[in-house]
Amino acid sequence: MKLTKRAQSIKPSPTLAITAKANRMKAEGIDVVGFGAGEPDFDTPDNIKEAAIKAIKSGFTKYTPSSGIDELKDAIIEKFRKENNLKYERNQVVICCGAKDVLYNIAQVLFEEGDEVIIPAPYWVSYPDQVVLAGGTPVFVPTKEENGFRITGEDFKKAITSRTRAIIINSPSNPTGGAYDAKHLEEIGEIALKNNLTIISDEIYERMVYDGFKHVSMASLSDKIKEITLVVNGVSKTYSMTGWRIGYVVGDKNVISAIVNLQSQSTSNPTSISQKASVEALRGDQSTVDMMVKAFDERRKYIVKRLNSIKGVSCYNPQGAFYVFPNFSKLYGKKLKDKVINSSSDLAELLLEVKVAIVPGVAFGDDAYIRLSYATSMDNIKKGIDRIEEFVGKLS
Ligand SMILES: *Cc1c(COP(=O)(O)O)cnc(C)c1O
């Protein structure tokens, strides 16, 4: 059957592809250390599971309103009020099937042919494809490690044309772990305001921050910036609920209502049971989040130190999320036996041969780097970094 140009333009998610390959090797009994995971390695907390079980047993298993249940909207509104000092009404909230689905829906209702969307690189893998699927054009703006992988005001301004509609900011960032403080956000916010742009602020890692970094929501900077900002978040990362598929966005009520209409003709509603579980996630005991963040922090410190001690490798110290994004480009041109390493993909392939799975930086728009997730046990991290160190030692 003939596929549309649209369908042919989609690349499969490279992060999921690496995880699948590593899992196949594991299934064959090969002892692979996987640094590919894009999800916490902890189980969903029991209180959340119990809330879901209760929802099933009480028969809360039917369609819900397309936009999601009021109880969850209220829990989300409460979260924004308490944690981000932001006020929203129910008609400014929509709950979708994961933050990825939120972002997809935003692209569908905001972008069309000719529209340009500024995406600072390195970027999360789905942003460009989602923009393209909507008919828009991603405009990549490279960032620098010495700027904490943040887009500078100057570079942002230079990338704006009469066709620019929006910028996507992800702080803390997947893949770099870089994060924007209030001052940096304000600079971006003011430029967006002046140029009539929408800001899509993906804050899914807001709770995973380290070294005393304080997450500030883009929308909280001023009333004017709030008006042009769509804040995207979800329960996947914070509560280790990736499989439950609940994400949400708050902002302009016309955009929200367009998303609700779109959703009413596509997925109908996010899973009823997962919505009830998410109410418990947002309102219930938060101590498991603290426990998780503390564990991530210990691993982060260890992995950064170990990577920086490998000759030819340098690793940025991330302020958030659960990834490190070390630069391996000093090793490009070196050889393992007769194989020359020329790219992050070459590295990914050779590392898999020594039973280490990583994601090449090229997937995120920067070939000098690779991404390692530390959402895996300390034992795995030690074993994996030992293997990488040994591998680098063999290069000539
Ligand atoms: C994981 C992730 C998402 C999507 O999460 P969902 O599971 O779809 O809620 C969105 N943005 C970034 C940056 C992510 O890492």
The whole-number pLDDT of residue 19 equals 74
Please give the Cα distance from 68 to 148 (Å, whole number): 36
SS3 336: strand
Is residue 46 pLDDT above 80, yes or no?
yes
H-helix or E-strand containing 260?
helix 253-265
Pick the CATH number of 62-283 from 3.30.420.40, 3.65.10.10, 3.40.640.10, 1.20.950.20: 3.40.640.10
For the chain, the helix, strand and coil percentages under 3-state DSSP, each to the nearest 5? 45, 15, 40
* DSSP for residue 118: E
Structure confidence by residue, pLDDT tens digits, 97-140? 999 999 999 999 999 999 999 999 999 999 999 999 999 999 99
Pocket-testing residue among 202, 215, 249, ligand 1, by greatest number of atoms within 8 A of Cβ = 202
Residue with tokens 């997947």: 174
Cβ–ligand 1 contact at 275 (below 6 Å): no
- Percent of the chain clearing pLDDT 70 (strictly above): 99
CA 340 to centroid of ligand 1, rounded, Å? 34
Class of domain 5-43+288-391: alpha beta
The whole-number pLDDT of residue 7 equals 86
Q: How confident is the model at residue 325 (pLDDT cuts 50, 70, 90)?
A: very high
Pocket-testing residue among 94, 97, 100, 203, ligand 1, by greatest number of atoms within 8 A of Cβ = 100
CA 288 to centroid of ligand 1, rounded, Å? 20
Atom of ligand 1 nearest to the CA of 124: 13
The number of beta carbons lying within 10 Å of the beta carbon of residue 59 is 8
Concatenated DSSP letters of 255-299: HHHHHHHHHHHTT-SS-HHHHHHHHHHHHS--HHHHHHHHHHHHH
* C-alpha angle 335-337-341 in degrees, rounded to nearest 5: 30
Q: 11 Cβ partners below 8 Å, 6+ apart?
A: 129
Atom of ligand 1 nearest to the CA of 235: 9
Structure confidence by residue, pLDDT tens digits, 9-38? 887 776 677 777 888 898 999 999 999 888
Dihedral of the CA atoms 24, 29, 30, 35 (nearest 10)?
Answer: 60
Is residue 86 pLDDT above 70, yes or no?
yes
Structure confidence by residue, pLDDT tens digits, 194-227? 999 999 999 999 999 999 999 999 999 999 999 9
Cβ–ligand 1 contact at 199 (below 6 Å): no
Structure confidence by residue, pLDDT tens digits, 234-289? 999 999 999 999 999 999 999 999 999 999 999 999 999 999 999 999 999 999 99
Atom of ligand 1 nearest to the CA of 101: 8
Cβ atoms of 178 and 121 closer than 8 Å: no
What are the extents of the domains in the chain?
Answer: 5-43+288-391, 62-283
* DSSP for residue 269: S
Cβ–ligand 1 contact at 204 (below 6 Å): yes
62 CB burial (10 A radius; 0-12, 13-18, 19+): exposed
Mean pLDDT for 153-171 is 98
Please give the Cα distance from 159 to 116 (Å, whole number): 10
Structure confidence by residue, pLDDT tens digits, 360-389? 999 999 999 999 999 999 999 999 999 999
